[in-house]
Amino acid sequence: MTLQDKINNIKSQFADAVKGLSLTKKEVSDIKNQFLGRKGSVAQLFNEMKNLPPEDRSQAGKELNILKSELSTKIDNLLHAAADDSTSSLESSIDPTLPGDFIPVGSIHPIEKTIQEIKNIFGAIGFNSVYGPEIDDDYHNFEALNIPHYHPARDMQDTFYITDDVVLRTHTSNTQIHVMEEQQPPLRVIVPGRVYRNEAISVRSYCLFHQIEGLYVSKNVTFAEMKGTLEYFVKSFFGQNVKTRFRPSYFPFTEPSAEVDVSCIFCKGSGCKTCKQTGWLEILGCGMVDPDVFLKVGYDSEKWSGYAFGLGIERMTMLKYGIDDIRLFFNGDVRFLRQFR
C-alpha cells in the first residue's frame, strides 16, 4: 500500500467516526486521540517514514503534515460544536428550567368587539346579520331611500363620488334596499359595515366609520314594538339602569321618525361636559319605514309595515368605554388597542 493509500484510508476512517449524530466533547476527544494522539494513526504514519527511501521522505512529510492539519481543524470545529455533557447534545440542549418564549397575543379591535356584541344582542331576538356593498349606486344609497336630488347629504362636500352615479356609501341604509329587493317579508336583519363621509377629520369625526342598520318588516308592525326592541337593546348594551328617550325627528326614509337618547352614562343624568349638561346622549335614528320606500322595492305598503334604525358603532364604543377621540380607532396605536384584551 502506498503512502497515499494509507492517507486516504485514514481520511475515510475519520469521516466514518464523525458522521451521523452530533457528538459530545468526550466522544470528540476520543476520536482526536485515536487519530492525532501520540500513538494515533497519523503518528504511526510519521513513524513509518523512516522506512521510506531518503529522497521520498520530504514529500511524504509534507503530505502527512497536510493530513494532520486537516484533521485537527475538523476536530477543533467538532469540539466547538459539541455539548459539554457526556450525554447526547440534543438532550443537553433542552433546559426545562428556562422560562418559555414570550409570544405576544393580539387583541380584538374595539370596533369589532362592539359589532360582535350588538350582533349577539339582536341575534338573540331573531335578527340575522347581513352585509351590503360599500361602493354603491346613487339609486340604492339615496334615490330609493327617498333622498331627493336637492338633499344636502348628496353634496360633494359630504359624499365621496366615484362617478356621477357611483358613491362610497354614506350609510348602511343602502342595504335596506338591497335586502328588500332580494327577499320577501317578513324579514328581520341587522347590517353592520363601513360607511364613508367626506368630513374634516377631528376628535369627533372621521372620513370612515361604522354603522349598524336594522330593518324589520312584517304585518301590523307598530311603533311600540320598535320602542320595545330598541329599549331592550340599550339596556343590554349599556346596562339595565340606563334610561331611553325617544324624540320626534325627520329622516326621508322613515315616517314617523325619531332619535333615541340614553341617560348620560358618565353623570347618570345629572349633567356633565359630555352630555352638555342635558343629562342625555343621542345614540341612534329610527322610524317606521316610509311607504314610498316600500313602493321602490315593490312591497305592498297596504299589506306590509316595518321599522328601521341606524346607529354609529364608533359613537357607541366611545360612550361605552369613555373614549374621547374617534381617531384612536384608526391609527393602530397598540397602547390603545392593548386595553381591549
**Footprint of ligand DAH (CB under 6 A):** 171, 173, 213, 251, 254, 285-287, 308-310
Residue closest to 216 by CA, chosen among 204, 224, 208 = 224
Least Cβ distance, residue 258 to ligand DAH (angstroms)? 8
75 or 177, CB closer to ligand DAH? Answer: 177
253 or 329, CB closer to ligand DAH? Answer: 253
Which residue's beta carbon is nearest to the bound ligand DAH? 310
Cis peptide bond prior to 186, omega within 30° of 0: yes
Query: CB–CB of 50/109 below 8 Å?
Result: no
Least Cβ distance, residue 239 to ligand DAH (angstroms)? 24
Query: CB–CB of 304/217 below 8 Å?
Result: yes
Query: CB–CB of 304/185 below 8 Å?
Result: yes
Least Cβ distance, residue 309 to ligand DAH (angstroms)? 5
Q: What is the DSSP letter of 101?
A: P
110 or 310, CB closer to ligand DAH? Answer: 310
32 or 171, CB closer to ligand DAH? Answer: 171
Give dist(CA 192, CA 43) in Å, integer: 83
How many Cβ atoms are within 10 Å of 63's Cβ, its own excluded?
A: 14
Least Cβ distance, residue 316 to ligand DAH (angstroms)? 13
Give dist(CA 155, CA 153) in Å, integer: 5
63 or 259, CB closer to ligand DAH? Answer: 259
Least Cβ distance, residue 314 to ligand DAH (angstroms)? 12
**At which residue does the C-alpha cell 360582535 appear?**
116
